[in-house]
């Protein structure tokens, strides 16, 4: 439980700091496209930070349900690949990073799918 609690709160903190960085420092030097990529990364990171906090609570309440942990791990991997690739793409413009973004998106979808399956199974 603590693992997901730390990752959830840490990612929420990081997302807020990165949003502030964009608003106060990057706006003058980034193009509109770079700022859109950055904002999308911040939004998805914050949403999935909250999802990780929910996973932490679910793991605490239902520790035998391993699917919650699996969903959380997919969320962590999705944040790293999806959000991370968008941040790096916005900051560097390196086009090959675009190939990591869909993989991260698939991890986020997998996390929600596993979470939904766990809820439906009622275990």
The pLDDT of residue 117 is above 90: yes
Task: Dig out the tokens for 46 from the structure.
Answer: 């914050």
Closest CA to 51 of 77, 33, 25: 77
Distance CA(123)–CA(32), nearest Å, equals 47
Distance CA(82)–CA(105), nearest Å, equals 6
Confidence of residue 16 (pLDDT cuts 50, 70, 90): very high
pLDDT at residue 107, rounded to an integer: 98
Confidence of residue 41 (pLDDT cuts 50, 70, 90): very high
- Return the number of other C-beta atoms located less than 10 Å from residue 49's C-beta: 22
Give the pTM.
0.94
pLDDT at residue 25, rounded to an integer: 93
Q: What is the pLDDT of residues 88-100, one digit of tens each?
A: 999 999 999 999 9
The pLDDT of residue 40 is above 70: yes
Contact between 120 and 67 under an 8 Å Cβ cutoff? The reply is no
> Average pLDDT for residues 15-32, to the nearest whole number?
95
| DSSP 8-state secondary structure symbol assigned to residue 62 | -
Closest CA to 14 of 73, 84, 71, 111: 84
Q: What is the pLDDT of residues 42-73, one digit of tens each?
A: 999 999 999 999 999 999 998 788 999 999 99
């Amino acid at each position: 439980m603590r693992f997901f609690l730390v990752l959830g709160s840490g990612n929420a903190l990081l997302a807020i700091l990165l949003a502030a960085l964009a608003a106060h420092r990057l706006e003058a030097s980034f193009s509109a496209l770079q700022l859109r990529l950055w904002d999308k990364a911040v939004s998805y990171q914050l949403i999935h930070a909250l999802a990780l906090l929910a996973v932490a609570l679910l793991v605490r309440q239902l520790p035998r349900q391993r699917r919650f942990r699996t969903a959380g791990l997919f969320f962590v991997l999705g944040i790293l690949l999806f959000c991370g690739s968008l941040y790096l793409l916005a900051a560097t413009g390196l086009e090959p990073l675009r190939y990591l973004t869909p993989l991260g998106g698939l991890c986020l979808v997998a996390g929600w799918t596993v979470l939904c399956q766990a809820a439906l199974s009622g275990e």
